[in-house]
Structure 1
Amino acid sequence: MIAFYENFDHPYRTFWSHNMNFNAHLQKQVEILYVLEGELSVTINHNSTLVKPNELVIIFPNTVHSYETKNYSYVGLLIFDTSLTGDFANQLIKYKCSHPILSPKQVHPDIIYCIRAILHSQDEPKSLGLMKGYISVILGRAFEHLTLEKIIYSDHTDLTHKTLLYLAEHYKDSLTLAGLAQVLGTSKYHLSRIFSNKIGCNFNTYLNTLRIGYAQHLLANDSLSITDIAFECGFESQRTFNRTFKEISNITPSQYRKQMHTM
């Protein structure tokens, strides 16, 4: 699992990921997932689909989604701001799609070319103009097969979104369920039910998952010490960080760093 569930300052990020798993979350950006090998379950607004090789998923902004790999998966992932989507920005922000998954037959060769061009050159700087071009082609071909409907928010849906959006921005801060409830103007008991019934885990589990996801990114891409990474991710001690990291990732932080650097 590679950390990408943060609203990064950079307008786009790209990843290859093996055996991706992540609890329910959302972000301001658009997310495109392309399965190369294996399969994984993608849940979008509580609807789960087993996505197989050569299938494509488009996650619209502020859409609750999660990933689960039971055996093996190898995927390419693009995350980018709506500012890079040109004429598609309005549709992505104001509309939703109940089944934003393209079958292999619907994935046009132009889409595959653009995704591979982006991912195979992920370590090379790309101009925003070039990225806009690739993204426009991907969305243009994909939207030929998507059915959109205008978003109508309920108060309940809004609270779920507000909760996840706030945590996406503040997960490195010192947080408690009661403190989050106060910020959101609700009771901690109601918020606890949101986590259990809508997000699928309790507050602490979700918060730690976000923090460990970011830690994985730092371990794979930064030279910070494990102690510094622990504090950077919001943990109060390296001991707590190490224990939580192993609970979520099934290996220690040092083992994860070594594994990432030998891939």
Structure 2
Amino acid sequence: MKKFEKNSKYDGQVIGQILEAYKLAKKQGNHVLMWQQANLIYEFTQKYVFDVLWKKYGNILGNQEHRDDLIQSVWLKIFEEIEHYDSRKASITVFLFPWIQHAVTDYCSKNIWKTSPYYAKKISQIDDCIAWCRARGIEPTPNIISEHTGLSEKTVIVCMNIMQCKDTVTIDSIYEMEILDNKFRTPQEQAIYNENTKISNEILKRTLSDFEIQVIQILVNLNAVNNRKMRNKASYREIALCLKREYGITTTITTIKNTISDITIKLKDYPKLVQI
């Protein structure tokens, strides 16, 4: 991974003067001067911008399919917002950081169909089916698409949401693909993540029995399993012991194993949940 060093030429006062000249040139319609000042702004800030991108979003920046488009999206966002910067109130890096995050999140939201092979294949099927339906004067409803593609209606709805760039779906998918680092969520991203968690819990309550929910909670809630070194998941035996200890339910390892199989089948239309 390439490491960008701090720009030794950076000077807050100078960047402030450059920005004022940029604003004035833009206001006067002096495109030559505006372009010159924009190049100076780029020269003074590029090291910081690329450093942030590689450190926080190296996963997607390392993807050749997305690198150039992502970088372009970031710079477009920066120059959309740069005229609001006031050098007397904060350094340019403090100003740029949230806009870099915003640009990356926005780019990923709009391009999730490229970044997720799972959804990309199904979206391609759905897109073809929609075209087929419209050519025959058929309304391409989720139910009709499901019948013609063999995909479940729920899967069709999820994919159609992604095709319409609904952020609630796409942002969650981005984290699932580990394109964004969960440790660096912005407040807006965290709010979306919390909403997705709420939706996931509602799906579980609607789909599973109380016993199955208890099993799945123990399976993924590592704090519920003794106070030993945490592992990825609880074993069948640990789940059985925890059910006895926490809920007074006596069961067998075979029952737990079969229950988890039943849960997987019931959640087959929710791939993100099945992954747990």
Range into which the TM-score falls when normalised by the shorter chain: under 0.3
Larger Rg: 2
- The answer to which structure, 1 or 2, has the higher relative contact order (CA under 8 A, 6+ apart) is 1
TM-score by length of 2: 0.26
Larger helix proportion of the pair: 2
